[in-house]
């Protein structure tokens, strides 16, 4: 680790601890060039209490949805839940990033798995951040674990993604193939902290 990156990590740790102790959320902007699913060393850019607005990541909404998902590879293991998600979306249209349908199901105690089905092609995507994400029971206890909209490429995870053990509000941009980290806001994991 270079001196510069070590100093950056030290400053980040101090700011994150200060933010938690002072109950002030610290937002860390995750740098570019990080492969999807890899934990990144965040760079603190600002102190705020909210993730980015959905309107900053617009998507054009399509209305039609394919009848069947492509049930190849991992998707074949989840035929029922993926097919049901498409049937439910047939009347309302895609619910995420313009043309995608979000399918969710439990994977254990508080654990949630998520897939995105391309409403145009039927292709199924399993973002690694959402293959076992957990909502936690801390400061975000009364919020939906996932926040997303049909007219936006932004997805918010309230809790802990599968690829990182830090609890908070995670904002990701969907590229059509992968989730790219946008920001992370520290939240208390337990209300007794």
* From 16-20, 39-43, 153-157, the region with the lowest mean pLDDT: 16-20
192 falls within a domain: no
> Hey, what long-range contacts does 106-111 have (CB within 8 A, 24 or more apart)?
107/132, 108/132, 110/134, 110/135, 110/136
Are 141 and 156 contained in the same domain?
yes
For residue 43, pLDDT beyond 50: no
- The DSSP H or E segment spanning 28 is strand 26-29
With contact defined as beta carbons under 8 Å apart, do 96 and 130 qualify? Answer: no
pLDDT value at position 131?
95
Are 32 and 121 contained in the same domain?
no
Are 13 and 107 contained in the same domain?
no
For the residues 7-35, what does the mean pLDDT come to? 38
For residue 143, pLDDT beyond 70: yes
Cα distances from 105 to residues 11, 114, 150, 169, 182, in angstroms, run 38, 7, 19, 20, 25
Token pair recorded at residue 63: 């209305």
Are 182 and 132 contained in the same domain?
yes
The span from the CA of 43 to the CA of 89, in Å, is 38
- Identify the band that residue 109 occupies on the pLDDT scale cut at 50, 70 and 90: confident
Are 90 and 110 contained in the same domain?
yes
Taking the CB of residue 170, how many other CB atoms lie within 10 A of it?
25
For residue 148, pLDDT beyond 80: yes
Task: Phi first, then psi: give them for residue 177, nearest 5 degrees.
Answer: -135, -35
106 falls within a domain: yes
Range of the structural domain that residue 95 is part of: 73-125
For residue 19, pLDDT beyond 70: no
- Identify the band that residue 193 occupies on the pLDDT scale cut at 50, 70 and 90: low
151 falls within a domain: yes
Are 7 and 48 contained in the same domain?
yes
pLDDT value at position 138?
82
pLDDT value at position 141?
84
The span from the CA of 115 to the CA of 81, in Å, is 10
pTM metric for this prediction? 0.75
111 vs 5, residue with greater confidence: 111
The span from the CA of 83 to the CA of 78, in Å, is 8
Token pair recorded at residue 181: 């980290």
With contact defined as beta carbons under 8 Å apart, do 61 and 45 qualify? Answer: no
For residue 163, pLDDT beyond 60: yes
pLDDT value at position 48?
52
193 falls within a domain: no
With contact defined as beta carbons under 8 Å apart, do 62 and 120 qualify? Answer: yes
Q: Among positive and negative, which fits the CA dihedral 88, 91, 93, 95?
A: negative
CA angle, corner 47, sides to 53 and 13, nearest 5? Answer: 125
117 vs 42, residue with greater confidence: 117
Number of domains in the chain: 2
For the residues 28-52, what does the mean pLDDT come to? 48
For residue 44, pLDDT beyond 60: no
For residue 165, pLDDT beyond 80: yes
The span from the CA of 144 to the CA of 133, in Å, is 12
């Amino acid at each position: 680790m270079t001196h510069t990156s070590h100093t950056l990590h030290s400053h980040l740790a101090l700011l994150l601890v200060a933010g938690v102790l002072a109950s002030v959320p610290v937002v860390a902007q995750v740098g570019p060039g990080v492969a999807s699913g890899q934990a990144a060393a965040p760079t603190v850019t600002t102190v705020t209490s909210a993730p980015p607005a959905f309107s900053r990541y617009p998507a054009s909404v399509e209305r039609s949805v394919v009848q069947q998902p492509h049930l190849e590879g991992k998707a074949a293991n989840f035929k029922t839940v993926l097919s049901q998600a498409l049937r439910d979306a047939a009347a309302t249209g895609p619910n995420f990033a313009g043309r995608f349908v979000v399918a969710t199901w439990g994977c254990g105690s508080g654990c949630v798995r998520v897939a995105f089905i391309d409403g145009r092609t039927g292709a199924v995507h399993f973002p690694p951040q959402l293959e076992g994400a957990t909502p936690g029971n801390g400061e975000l206890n009364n919020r939906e674990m996932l926040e997303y909209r049909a007219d936006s490429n932004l997805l918010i995870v309230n809790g802990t993604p599968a690829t990182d053990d830090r609890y908070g509000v995670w904002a990701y941009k969907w590229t059509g193939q992968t989730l790219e980290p946008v920001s992370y806001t520290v939240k208390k994991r337990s209300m007794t902290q």
